[in-house]
A and B are shown apart, each in its own frame.
Chain A
Amino acid sequence: MNLRVIIIDDEYLAIRLLEEYCSRFPFINVLQSFKDPVPALRFLEENPVDLVFLDIQMPRITGMELASRLSPDGAGKRPRFIFTTARHDFAVKAFELDALDYLVKPVSFERFEMAIRKVEENILDFLLLKNGHRTIRLAYEEIIFIEGLNEYVKVHTPEKKIVTLAALKDLEARLPRNQFVRIHKSYIVSLAFVRSWTASEVEMAEGQRLPLGRVYKDNFLGLL
């Protein structure tokens, strides 16, 4: 499953920019873009969507109104919103509507990337890992722990071990903080797979014993 996204903005250039940015992330699937918020609202009522990029100042319905009209319906969960606007003074109200992020136009790619980081932390339930030419989608719930090996990381799942070119620090930032925790310079573990622990060691569900670093101990114990 990819991240299902729609874009709502009354200006086509804004849509084009966001579409282009989105296309740089393999897991983002832009279902449709709307210049008019009215059909967008209908689309949202009929289709499951994970994330909406939403302009605020539009004719007929403002982004704020649109966001507040969407209540969690029977079909599934309410999509999350990222507001994109030329105005900087709606941010407080946007976050009151539980916006995931608030992008002030013009949106640079660097800023857009930060927003996508938040998406990964808050919405995604999988990691995308490069393994040679292949991209592997790995659900969070499959991951037992991740081991750092200089420039590589090794992701341990019940079935397999995947080695990929990545930094442990970056993965730590991308993973949701309530599900994963760093326990050592070289280890991130999934809290769901922790079976037992001592002052210096953590035992995982599959029997692996991992060292508990002194620096990370308090944080780890605090989460359990």
Chain B
Amino acid sequence: MRKAGLKNFNFALYAQIIFWVVLFIFILGSPQSVPASLLLLFCHMVNFYFVFSWLTPRYFEPGRYSWFGVAIVALLLTLTPFRLWIETHFINRPFLFQRGRHLIGLVLFSELTLSFLAFLFRMALDNYASRRRADQLEKGRLETELKFLKSQMSPHFLFNTINNIYALALTEPYKTRESLMKLSGLLRYLLYECNQLVPFAKELDAIESYIALFQLRYETALNITLDTQVSSSDMLIEPMLFLPLLENAIKHSDIGVVPEAFIHIRLQEEGGLLAGHFVNSKSTLPSRNEPGGIGLQNIRKRLDMLQSGFSEQNLQVRETANGFEVFIKIPCT
């Protein structure tokens, strides 16, 4: 992307250089001296860059069109006498010299043409740049969306759960049915329900099912606690902001491997927002210990998409002596 932008800049620069060289040769082509041609060129350049670099970017926009017109008139009023002075003193135009008003017409016409060219050139460049920017924004948006979809549930978790339920079916039909219901509920939530605002109860169900399904892997009870203090479980929240944090905590805590490992989750209302507090023990296994992770970054991005700069205040990660703490606040209505 950067490279293409640079290329575009070079193209604009080359176009200008070529334009001026051609114009200068053209001016020289008329029977006149080099100093006179340089003076003319100077005139044209003042005209061009006044419109190209200053006037169009600043004044060609809704509400300021009249100022744009005024500035053009002012430009012509300033340049024309100077041009006329050059034309009459340095340049001999045999065909037009007989009639003075033809000279004014020629000067005005050339000045207006040049202004117009500068204007068009600026518009074309701006248009190109804004299209490019829109493309980039769209691409960024799609990428975030894609990552969001991917982060919803790791396929590893899904397969692992299915394998465990398969083994469970051999000996424990009741627990098998219960687990299948939980898995089906979780999948329904992830696939169909969480592409809009959801009641808090749904996200909570998903978290509880996830914990229960994860617990299937282990014979002994895992030290995972979930504590909620919420006045109404009907309030609407953005889905899939809490569940990835649970996944994250599981990933980085050695839970199930080390008996001392723990995860404590507290969800409560706090100043009109829904606050989540995730605490987990620190992993001692080198392979599992990757702080941050794509999950957290993704959540940060999503919070900022809700409201620019939102994550600054409302998502904090802290490393303590024996674990990690994540504080998150999300909007709820």
- Chain A interface (Cβ < 8 Å from any Cβ of B): 10-14, 16-17, 20, 59-60, 86, 105-106
Contact = CB atoms under 8 A, between A and B. Distances in A.
B interface, how many residues as a size bin? 20 to 34
A13 B168 contact: yes
B166 A106 contact: yes
Interface string B206-234: 00000000001111000000000000000
A24 B97 CA distance: 115
Nearest to B159: A86
B55 interface: no
A59 B285 CA distance: 8
Interface in B238-287: 254, 257, 285, 287
B117 interface: no
B141 interface: no
A13 to B, nearest CB: 4
Given A11-B164, A13-B167, 6 more contacts: A11-B218, A13-B164, A14-B164, A59-B257, A60-B285, A106-B167
B320 interface: no
B288 interface: yes
B171 interface: yes
Contacts of A13: 163-164, 167-168, 216-217
Nearest to A13: B167
B285 A86 contact: no
A14 B170 CA distance: 11
B163 A86 contact: yes
A107 B189 CA distance: 28
B217 A11 contact: yes
B66 interface: no
A59 B250 CA distance: 13
A14 B163 contact: yes
B168 to A, nearest CB: 6
A59 B287 CA distance: 8
23 contacts: A10-B217, A11-B160, A11-B164, A11-B217, A11-B218, A12-B218, A12-B219, A13-B164, A13-B168, A13-B216, A14-B163, A14-B164, A14-B167, A16-B170, A17-B166, A17-B167, A59-B285, A60-B285, A86-B156, A86-B159, A86-B160, A105-B159, A106-B166
B180 interface: no
A59 B163 contact: no
B41 interface: no
B162 interface: yes
Contacts, number: 44
Contacts of A12: 217-219
A60 B216 CA distance: 21
A16 B171 contact: yes
Contacts of B164: 11, 13-14
Chain B interface secondary structure, helix, strand, loop or mixed? helix
B159 to A, nearest CB: 5
Nearest to A58: B257
Nearest to B171: A16
Nearest to B219: A12
B165 to A, nearest CB: 8
Contacts of B159: 86, 105
Interface centre among A10, A13, A20, A60 (most CB of B within 10 A): A13
A14 B189 CA distance: 27
Contacts of B162: 106
Interface string B303-316: 00000000000000
Contacts of B257: 10, 59-60
A60 B163 CA distance: 22
A14 B288 CA distance: 22
Contacts of B156: 86
Contacts of A106: 162-163, 166-167
B332 to A, nearest CB: 37
A100 B318 CA distance: 47
A60 B287 CA distance: 8
Interface in B157-184: 159-160, 162-164, 166-168, 170-171
Nearest to B155: A86
A60 B168 CA distance: 26
A141 B254 CA distance: 51
Contact of B163 (A10, A20, A105): A105
Contacts of A11: 160, 164, 217-218
Contacts of B219: 12
Nearest to A109: B170
* Top 3 closest pairs, chain A to chain B, by CB: A106-B166, A13-B167, A17-B167
Given A14-B163, A106-B163, A20 B285 contact: no
Contacts of B287: 59
Contacts of A20: 170-171
Nearest to B217: A11
Nearest to B160: A86
Contacts of B163: 13-14, 86, 105-106
A24 to B, nearest CB: 12
A20 B166 CA distance: 13
A178 to B, nearest CB: 36
